[in-house]
Amino acid sequence: GEDVEQSLFLSVREGDSSVINCTYTDSSSTYLYWYKQEPGAGLQLLTYIFSNMDMKQDQRLTVLLNKKDKHLSLRIADTQTGDSAIYFCAEGQGAQKLVFGQGTRLTINP
Amino acid sequence: DAMVIQNPRYQVTQFGKPVTLSCSQTLNHNVMYWYQQKSSQAPKLLFHYYDKDFNNEADTPDNFQSRRPNTSFCFLDIRSPGLGDAAMYLCATSRSPGLATDTQYFGPGTRLTVL
Higher pLDDT, A18 or A41: A18
A1 pLDDT more than 60: no
CA-based torsion, A23, A25, A30, A35: positive or negative: negative
Q: Which of A34, A88, A98 to mutate to test the interface with B (most CBs of B within 10 A)?
A: A98
Q: Which of B6, B91, B101 to mutate to test the interface with A (most CBs of A within 10 A)?
A: B101
A110 pLDDT more than 90: no
From B9, which residue of chain A is nearest by alpha-carbon distance?
A: A40
Give the one of B31, B107, B111 whose C-beta lies nearest to A95's C-beta.
Answer: B31
Which of the four pLDDT bands, split at 50, 70 and 90, describes residue A19?
very high
8 Å CB contact between B25 and B104? no
The pLDDT assigned to A5 comes to: 92
* pLDDT per residue as tens digits for the range A80-103: 999 999 999 998 876 567 889 999
B18 pLDDT more than 70: yes
Q: What's the number of CA atoms in the CB half-sphere (13 Å) around residue B19?
A: 23
8 Å CB contact between A108 and A79? yes
* pLDDT per residue as tens digits for the range B2-17: 699 999 999 999 999 9
Distance of CA B29 to the CA centre of its chain: 15
Give the one of A4, A95, A100 whose C-beta lies nearest to B103's C-beta.
Answer: A95
B58 pLDDT more than 60: yes
B38: CB partners within 8 A, 6+ apart: B44, B87, B88
Which one-letter amino acid corresponds to residue A43? Answer: L
CA-based torsion, A38, A40, A44, A49: positive or negative: positive
The pLDDT assigned to A82 comes to: 94
Give A95 to chain B, closest Cα distance, Å: 5
A100/B42 touch (CB, cutoff 8 Å), yes or no = yes
